[in-house]
Amino acid sequence: MEPRPPIKHSSIAAILFLFGILGLVCAGAYFSGELGQLLSGSSTQSQPPRPGLVPFGQRQDPLPGLEEADAPLGKPAPLERTSTSYKFLAVKEDGTPLAYSPCRPIHYVVNSALAPPSWQPLVEEAVRQASVATGLVFIYDGPSTEIPSPNRSGYQPTRYGDRWAPVLIAWSTPEQVPRLTGQTVGLGGSSSIGLSNGYKAYVTGTVSLDAPQFAGIMDASNGNEIGVAVIMHELGHLVGLDHVNDPRQLMFDQASWVRQYAAGDLTGLAKLGSGPCSKDF
């Protein structure tokens, strides 16, 4: 067998150079976390993306903490007298009512397509009264074409941007909102979020008003006063009050002569405006 020719110095240098390059590639892959993927053939990430890094449009909830201050934005008006004639729609495990965070504003929009011409001062006065009683800050974001739905999503980035959807106040019909069938003039309520640390809070809601019945109310001599009271009643539900059996309260479960929040209503509303802050939702 003929002896092999000796390897030239240039060939040795080339081989060493190639091994050096391969070593750098493997080192780079190791330190970047890709070596395991290269060896196994997997292209999936070894760890899920951290919360907050999911691209906008792929999240189910907005980024937490938007507009959340370190302290409540307002305080409930002082109570001249208290009353036990109030009831909450939901109570948490610690006995406190489920409520909106007082440390961020409640944004709202209005669908006025079926509303009476004088709807705006009615809504503004009702919202003002609810804000004074709770200390919660409400911000009007303008008109909306959204129609009330029992399955309304609390996060609608296409319509409202990367935030919790604003509260929707809308004049509707029993055809659109079947629960308005009969003598029900309005409906109000909110959707809540629960976090792994046990925190719960309302994040958005809807007030639906029966347009035909509301038009009849506005035809009365004191129609504006009654109209404001109806919206105040539904805003009471929105922020967390339930019906009561006391006919002296605005949250009485039947039509009555009461036109303003009474002692029981105000006591409950003050408690609903005194919840904790949270930057976690």
Asked if residue 30 belongs to a domain, the reply is: yes
Query: In this structure, are 128 and 18 located in the same domain?
Result: no
Assign residue 125 the CATH number of its domain: 3.40.390.10
Asked if residue 178 belongs to a domain, the reply is: yes
Give residue 274's pLDDT band: very low, low, confident or very high (50, 70, 90).
very high
Over 60: is that where the pLDDT of 225 sits? yes
For the stretch 202-223, pLDDT in tens is: 999 999 999 999 999 999 999 9
Query: In this structure, are 44 and 112 located in the same domain?
Result: no
pLDDT at 59 (0 to 100):
57
Contacts 24+ apart (CB under 8 A), 147-152: 147/111, 147/172, 147/176, 148/111, 148/172, 148/176, 148/177, 148/206, 148/208, 150/177, 150/179, 152/191, 152/206
Query: In this structure, are 148 and 247 located in the same domain?
Result: yes
Query: In this structure, are 31 and 124 located in the same domain?
Result: no
Where is pLDDT greater, at 215 or 182?
Answer: 215
Query: In this structure, are 127 and 260 located in the same domain?
Result: yes
Query: In this structure, are 113 and 29 located in the same domain?
Result: no
Query: In this structure, are 26 and 163 located in the same domain?
Result: no
Query: In this structure, are 120 and 16 located in the same domain?
Result: no
For the stretch 28-62, pLDDT in tens is: 332 333 223 322 233 223 333 333 344 444 557 89
Over 70: is that where the pLDDT of 130 sits? yes
Query: In this structure, are 49 and 111 located in the same domain?
Result: no
Asked if residue 77 belongs to a domain, the reply is: no
Question: Domain range spanning residue 206?
Answer: 106-272
When divided into structural domains, the chain yields a total of 2
* Cross-strand bridge partners of residue 176: none
For the stretch 63-83, pLDDT in tens is: 899 999 999 999 999 999 999
Over 70: is that where the pLDDT of 150 sits? yes
